[in-house]
Structure 1
Amino acid sequence: MHPVLKYVDKLTITFLVDNCIEWMTKLPPGFTHELPQHLQQDNHGTFDERKGVPVLDFDRFCCGAHGFAALIETSLDSEGGKSHLTLFDTGPDSLSLVRNIDALAVPIEKIHRVITSHWHSDHTGGLLSFLRLRRSKMEDISGASRVDCVVDVHPNRPIARGIAPGPSYDNVLCALPPDPTFEVIQQEGGVVEKYSEGHAVAGNTVWVSGEIPRVTEYEVGILGGMRWVQDEEATGTGKWVKDGLIIDERYAAIDVKGKGLVIFSACSHAGNVNVVKDAIEIFKRPIYMVIGGLHLAGPEFGPRIPMTVDFLAHKLRPSPTYVLPMHCTGFQAKVALETAFGDGCVPAGVGLKVDITGDEESERMIFAPTC
């Protein structure tokens, strides 16, 4: 075991923002669709006495959005089942995350840390509205003492990022909405903690990576990624420069007893193979589950699909038990992963809940992976 990361006895994941909504596909054990969760709640519908059944309120179900956010709950039996709630990314806007938190009755006041995977607004756009909602919930709870929320970020925040389409990848088509500044995050009740190196949080149950080493030949970042660089602060002049590597990107990892690593790679700008290789190099543990955007959508990334799938399904031993391709993975890559993994490729989406329980006996049989 890595000296600063504890094995968790239970991991629960709730997807709060994703591009997709999936209600009907058969899921593996431990995976729960959104609908059954609503039926367990008393405040998301009315009971029709005449018909003898609840009536669903679709106005209070999750909505999809181009972005990602996952609530991570880690629990340790050795600490009396104490759990830590960590939010990984916040989606693209001020509406989707807070709506979906309400839809799933998430105890937002118990979330004490937000991890931003990187500075792109489809992952940071909901941060300020989340902090505002959390503060109001804290104030509504009678006798609750105020506990600020840590916002765990990479220090290299760009002024702006833009998109330059092919084939030249040098003419900026548009800029992304600006990420929240450190100052505004603090004003909204966030305690900014800046990390460029890997570190453990949530009672040493969640690992946040440092900058991801680029070791593959084919994962070369985003060809059209651009960053605005200021020339003179006083005049506001500047220029667009190439920023395809997105060096501020980070992944998160949780080590489940008897299962191995669960990897959250929100966008995989660094390449998901690079992400997995880095996690294996650090922890020497098998990969149980790969979650998030694999950034294989579109013609620029299509050639990487066969190599990524081949690595995950064939070169990595043992291969992951589950792959949950989300957000920016793309349809072609999902089809290729489903072909390779079968039922191990899970069509995850917003509102889905995943429960993973550790296994003491299986832990004794775990061996170091090879790739």
Structure 2
Amino acid sequence: MVADKIKKVDKLTITFLVDNSIEWFTKLPPGFTHEIKIHLGEHSPAVNPVTGAPILDFEKFCCGAHGFSALIETQVEGSEPQLTLFDTGPESRSIARNIASLQIPVQRISRVVLSHWHSDHSGGLLSFLRIRKAAFADPDCDPVNPGLVVVDLHPDRPIARGIAPGGPTKVIGQLATDPRFEEIEELDGFIEKHSKEHLVAEDTVYVSGEIPRVTPWEQGLLGAVRWVGDEESKRGEWVEEEQIMDERYALVDVKGKGLVIFSACSHAGIVNVVRDAIVNFKRPIHMVIGGLHLATPDLVDRIEPTVQFLADKVRPAPTYVLPMHCTGFQAKAALEKALGEGCVPAGTGIRVEVTGDGEVEKRIFAPTISL
């Protein structure tokens, strides 16, 4: 099994490049760093000559956008850190601004993993590739990882996807077109197509295959449709596609802590995602990160059983849940009520560091799920 071959990491660092929210002041657990602290402590801000105080230059701060992107840095002791970009946000501007704001070393990113074909996750991909390509043209660039960057994609790229609450004949809008394979290759992206589970980043990051749909109330993205036909002749039709079967999650196993799960949008259902991770890895869950897709009014009835599962059905419960992107206010409030400080208000610009512990690792046991 692929899961048996994953390497437990000694250190995991996550930087949230794109999310719907910005969080500057909320109390965060140990290991979490606000964007303001990063700018003041690491980016040598300009100092007002009169007051002597460093200036918070908001022109250089991150912006939020409806989408998701996380930079995942994994390290095993004695090896070089591996940088993997998980999703790229919805469009070209937010990821470009936030990469510049956080001074991300794009030339060190060796792989982009796209969770699924929706433009709020793929829309910044070409922008990222342009930024990375330009970085190598800079004479001051340190070419840590020159040349092509791997772009890890599900092979089933749709012509178009849309939303039709009243059925396929009543499409109210479609998402922007996902990047084409040839566009990616023109910007030095080396495409790898994966429909099955696999390991990347020197075997420190797991990317899932098809997520089993077993939870009764998790019924996909209601009203989702897909254009099926011939792109060149412009002939085709909209068909129902609520399950979004190309969606994949990623995870990292931190020594002495357990699994850190990245579920960018959870169209498959976060309960299905967590179940699959526990079944495959038989490890406790340290963090659940990403969009839980519980925001729209037609999904309100999924909030209570989802929260109950994360808080009460998994033992031990996840140490932290970071509800982001498409989770929605009502679901976040319910998670905070159930988990207390275990529900973390993460957002764009926040950095998370998880340090492994070899001694604790010896005492970790497999989690259990009650039905």
The interval holding the TM-score normalised by the smaller chain is over 0.9
For residues 213 and 105 of structure 1, what CA distance do their matches in structure 2 show? 38
The DSSP-based 3-state class of the residue aligned with 2:221 is coil
**Which residue type is aligned with residue 251 of structure 1?**
Y
For residues 243 and 3 of structure 1, what CA distance do their matches in structure 2 show? 33
What CA deviation, in whole Å up to 9, does each residue of 1:205-226 have, x standing for no partner? 0000001000111101012100
- The two structures have a TM-score, normalised by structure 1, of 0.96
Q: Report the counterpart of residue 47 of structure 1 in structure 2.
A: 47
Q: Report the counterpart of residue 332 of structure 2 in structure 1.
A: 334
For residues 94 and 84 of structure 1, what CA distance do their matches in structure 2 show? 24
**Which residue type is aligned with residue 359 of structure 1?**
D
Paired residues for 1:17-36 under 5 Å: 17-36=18-37
For residues 234 and 339 of structure 1, what CA distance do their matches in structure 2 show? 51
**Which residue type is aligned with residue 104 of structure 1?**
L
For residues 57 and 335 of structure 1, what CA distance do their matches in structure 2 show? 32
Match of 2:303 among 292, 296, 305: 305
The DSSP-based 3-state class of the residue aligned with 1:24 is coil
CA gap of 1:302–1:233, structure 2 versus 1, over 3 A, is closer
For residues 4 and 136 of structure 2, what CA distance do their matches in structure 1 show? 35
Q: Would you say 1:5 and 2:6 are equivalent positions?
A: yes
Q: Is the 8 A contact 1:34 1:351 kept in 2?
A: yes
Q: Report the counterpart of residue 216 of structure 2 in structure 1.
A: 217
CA gap of 1:37–1:68, structure 2 versus 1, over 3 A, is same
**Which residue type is aligned with residue 50 of structure 1?**
V
For residues 348 and 332 of structure 2, what CA distance do their matches in structure 1 show? 16
**Which residue type is aligned with residue 292 of structure 1?**
G
Q: Is the 8 A contact 1:257 1:360 kept in 2?
A: yes
Identity of aligned residues (%): 61
Paired residues for 1:53-72 under 5 Å: 53-72=53-72
The DSSP-based 3-state class of the residue aligned with 2:37 is helix
Distance apart, 1:286 and its partner CA: 0.7
The DSSP-based 3-state class of the residue aligned with 2:92 is coil
For residues 61 and 43 of structure 2, what CA distance do their matches in structure 1 show? 14
Distance apart, 1:188 and its partner CA: 1.0
- The two structures have a TM-score, normalised by structure 2, of 0.96
Runs of 4 or more consecutive aligned structure 1 residues displaced over 2 Å after TM superposition: 40-43, 141-147, 232-235
Q: Is the 8 A contact 2:107 2:146 kept in 1?
A: no
Q: Would you say 1:350 and 2:348 are equivalent positions?
A: yes
Paired residues for 1:1-371 under 5 Å: 2-42=3-43, 45-79=45-79, 82-142=80-140, 144=143, 146-165=146-165, 171-230=170-229, 232=230, 235-371=233-369
For residues 270 and 33 of structure 2, what CA distance do their matches in structure 1 show? 25
Q: Is the 8 A contact 2:254 2:355 kept in 1?
A: yes
Moved more, 220-229 or 34-43: 34-43
For residues 16 and 335 of structure 2, what CA distance do their matches in structure 1 show? 20
For residues 169 and 291 of structure 2, what CA distance do their matches in structure 1 show? 25
Distance apart, 1:21 and its partner CA: 0.3
Number of residue pairs matched? Answer: 366
Distance apart, 1:3 and its partner CA: 2.5
What CA deviation, in whole Å up to 9, does each residue of 1:148-167 have, x standing for no partner? 1100000000000011125x
Distance apart, 1:169 and its partner CA: 6.9
Moved more, 113-122 or 232-241: 232-241
Gapped regions of structure 2 (runs ≥ 5): none
Distance apart, 1:4 and its partner CA: 1.7
The DSSP-based 3-state class of the residue aligned with 1:146 is coil
Gapped regions of structure 1 (runs ≥ 5): none
For residues 233 and 92 of structure 2, what CA distance do their matches in structure 1 show? 31
**Which residue type is aligned with residue 102 of structure 1?**
A
Q: Is the 8 A contact 1:19 1:64 kept in 2?
A: yes
For residues 42 and 121 of structure 1, what CA distance do their matches in structure 2 show? 31
Distance apart, 1:234 and its partner CA: 5.2
The DSSP-based 3-state class of the residue aligned with 1:56 is coil
CA gap of 1:234–1:148, structure 2 versus 1, over 3 A, is closer
- Please provide the CA RMSD for this pair: 1.4
For residues 172 and 282 of structure 1, what CA distance do their matches in structure 2 show? 38
**Which residue type is aligned with residue 223 of structure 1?**
L
The DSSP-based 3-state class of the residue aligned with 1:15 is strand
Distance apart, 1:317 and its partner CA: 0.6
Q: Is the 8 A contact 1:8 1:74 kept in 2?
A: yes
